[in-house]
Amino acid sequence: MLKPVRTFRGGYEFKNFNGQARPVIIENQLPAMVTIPLKQGFGTELKSMVKKGDVVFAGQTIARDDSVVSSPIHSSVNGVVEEVRRVNYFKRQTAMVIIRTTNASKEIPRIEGCSLDWARLSNEKIEELIYLSGVSSLDREGIPTRFKSSIIPPEEVKHLIVHGVGSEPYNISLELLLKDKNLLNFLEGVKILKRIMPNSKVHLSLNVKKKNIIEQVAKLTSQLEWLDIYPLEPKYPQGYDEMLVPTILNQNFPYGYSAANIGVVILNIQAVLGVYEAVCEGKPFIERIIAICGPSIKDNLHIKVRVGTSLKDILAQRVKIETPVRVVMNSLLTGFQLNDISLPVDRTFSHVIAIPEKREREFLSFMKPGKTKDSYTRAFLAEMLPWVKRSPDTNKHGEERPCISCGFCERTCPVKIIPHLLAKYVQRNLIDETIMNYGIFNCIECGLCSYVCPSKISLMKIIKDGQDKLTMQGCDSAQCILPYFNLKGIEEYRGVTKL
């Protein structure tokens, strides 16, 4: 059923950034060498089942452990294992299997037992297919199956939220993901998920500006009474689990824990498509669609790559090299900076963003009309010219100054805390229960406060420091959450990874 438009208080809409990926997809050529991390997405790191010299084929399981919370990991090419070693991967030492491609065939063998007529398959079989394909490790808490792929079993899921809001400055194209047959596949995927989580209600949230897609989906799902469609304002950080739960379910979120703890599973559209492909086509999840965005890219489009392809293979030829560039993974506000381009992509990559690293100083920059400058205030010309694309860069655009309590950070904060107040407490080292009471542990690290601050204070970082210091003093976010929530599955491994 189509529901009225919803949104939340605070937040900020990033409009019209230059370098949005076109809804076009090309396949990247098979890499000569892949590096496959043994921890991808949600779950513990696994032990390699292959060793140096082993011959592997694309889609072969190279790591699996049913006794811990995890999902299997596959080889993404046909080849020979060169080495298994530990590499620093996003600030974490992670074991990697390095495979040299020997056979350039693009064929991927199917997982046994898949069927286009999935309604005939038993629940056990469907769950097994989802688990074996590796899709179950996607998103923050994975997809629950009878294997330990999430912290809660499937029957405990009360709500399943599928989101394609796209509230970041750069988003993967919804039109592309749900093009033609994919839309039907996606809806099949939703039905499959509903089947394995029988007690759940499905909530589909889409960007309110994509009217076509909403209409189509609404038409196709009018018969399903367990499915609701919510058009949401694309205000950052609407795509966060912490914001989706309050906006859609009118429920408080246990900040610092995951949605799964309150029986909610949140998946994005690629994950649901992956479920369909796993169950109906038997495809292991070794390919990923990545949006290549940002003004420093020659041609902004989407590419389909094998998991384990190094960033070098993706970015070579695509990045403008005339000026220095900063490459960021997934989100311009919270994503990791990718300094080492020999690192591989894993299942969790969805965007690679390249923006100019602008160290040059700009003459009288504060007096410029600002045709391409984005700002929370309306004090730039860009606000009046909606057709002009705004160009982001990494310059700070101003000197750090003392806080003047302008209140921008409070007005944009999605979780209703007062960042500048907390930052003042932390900077003066007044770290005690007061700031816990002011909700310092509610911070979801979306980075909006640091973004809007005209005094260029790194509020997010200061608040995070405050949290760490407070934790060292023995105060924990658990004290704010546990007395008020009845959480599930917290004795299990907590794999909440804040990237």
Partner 1 sequence: MRIIKNVIDNLNGLMQKNKYLKTFKPVMNAMDEFFFGTDKVTSLPHIVDNMDIKRLMSFVIIALLPVTIASIYFWGLRVLLVIAVSYAFGGLIEVCFAIFRKKEIHEGFLVTGLIFPLILPPGVPLWVVAVGSMFGVMFGKEVFGGTGRNIFNPAIAGRIFLTIAFPDIMTMHWQMPFSKGLGGFIHFQNTVDAVTTATPLVMFKNQGVIAPYLNLMFGQSAGCIGETFRIGIILGGLFLIVMRIVDWRLPLAYLATVVIFPYISNHLIHTQFALGGFQLLSGGLLLGAFFMATDPVTSPFTKQGRWIAGFLLGFLTVLIRGLSGYVEGVMFSILLINAFTPLIDTMVLKVRYKKK
Question: Which of residues 127, 241, 287, 374 is near partner 1 by CB under 8 A?
Answer: 374
How near is the Cβ of 405 to partner 1 at its closest, in Å? Answer: 4
Is position 235 an interface residue for partner 1 (rule: CB under 8 A)? no
Closest by alpha carbon to 491, among 499, 38, 154, 482?
482
How near is the Cβ of 298 to partner 1 at its closest, in Å? Answer: 20
What does the per-residue mask of binding to partner 1 show for 115-154, with x meaning CB under 8 A? ----------------------------------------
194/493 Cα distance (integer angstroms): 25
Is position 378 an interface residue for partner 1 (rule: CB under 8 A)? yes
How near is the Cβ of 60 to partner 1 at its closest, in Å? Answer: 37
Is position 369 an interface residue for partner 1 (rule: CB under 8 A)? no
Q: Which span (97-105, 210-218, 284-292, 401-409) binds partner 1, by CB under 8 A?
A: 401-409
Is position 337 an interface residue for partner 1 (rule: CB under 8 A)? yes
User: Cβ neighbours of residue 391 under 8 Å, at least 6 residues apart?
Assistant: 17, 18, 19, 295, 372
Where b means 16+ CB within 10 Å and e means fewer, 305-324 reads: bbbbbbbebbbeebbeeeee
- Between the CA of residue 277 and those of 73, 184, 190, 381, what are the distances in Å? 16, 12, 12, 46
Q: At what angle do helices 269-281 and 123-133 cross, to 10 degrees?
A: 120
DSSP code for 384: G
Closest by alpha carbon to 292, among 57, 36, 20?
20
Is position 394 an interface residue for partner 1 (rule: CB under 8 A)? yes
What does the per-residue mask of binding to partner 1 show for 183-202, with x meaning CB under 8 A? --------------------
393/373 Cα distance (integer angstroms): 10
How near is the Cβ of 373 to partner 1 at its closest, in Å? Answer: 4
How near is the Cβ of 465 to partner 1 at its closest, in Å? Answer: 13
Prior bond of 237 cis (ω within 30°): yes
- Between the CA of residue 124 and those of 84, 132, 282, what are the distances in Å? 33, 12, 15
Spacing of C-alpha 399 from chain mean position: 32
| Token digits of residue 439 | 């909700």
Subset of residues 426 to 455 that bind partner 1, contact rule: CB under 8 A: 437-439, 447, 450-455
Residue 99 or 460 with smaller CB distance to partner 1: 460
Is position 468 an interface residue for partner 1 (rule: CB under 8 A)? no
Q: Which span (69-77, 96-104, 134-142, 326-334) binds partner 1, by CB under 8 A?
A: 326-334
281/185 Cα distance (integer angstroms): 11
Neighbours of 86 (CB within 10 A): 12
Subset of residues 157 to 176 that bind partner 1, contact rule: CB under 8 A: 169
User: Cβ neighbours of residue 64 under 8 Å, at least 6 residues apart?
Assistant: 46, 49, 70, 72, 73
Count how many Cα atoms sit within 13 Å of the Cα of residue 160 in the half-sphere of its side chain: 30
How near is the Cβ of 293 to partner 1 at its closest, in Å? Answer: 12
Question: Which of residues 144, 234, 263, 335 is near partner 1 by CB under 8 A?
Answer: 335
Residue 184 or 379 with smaller CB distance to partner 1: 379
Is position 13 an interface residue for partner 1 (rule: CB under 8 A)? no
- Note whether 176 and 302 are within 8 A (CB): yes
Which bin fits 137, alpha (ψ -120 to 50), beta or left (φ > 0)?
Answer: alpha
Is position 460 an interface residue for partner 1 (rule: CB under 8 A)? yes
Is position 243 an interface residue for partner 1 (rule: CB under 8 A)? no
Subset of residues 470 to 489 that bind partner 1, contact rule: CB under 8 A: 484
Subset of residues 36 to 55 that bind partner 1, contact rule: CB under 8 A: none
Q: Which span (63-71, 116-124, 252-260, 405-413) binds partner 1, by CB under 8 A?
A: 405-413
Is position 403 an interface residue for partner 1 (rule: CB under 8 A)? yes
Residue 226 or 336 with smaller CB distance to partner 1: 336
Is position 399 an interface residue for partner 1 (rule: CB under 8 A)? yes
Size of the site for partner 1 (CB under 8 A): 63
Residue matched to tokens 């990718």: 338
The footprint of partner 1 (CB under 8 A) covers 169, 326, 328, 332-335, 337, 355, 357-367, 370, 373-380, 392-399, 401-407, 410, 418, 420-421, 437-439, 447, 450-456, 458, 460-461, 484
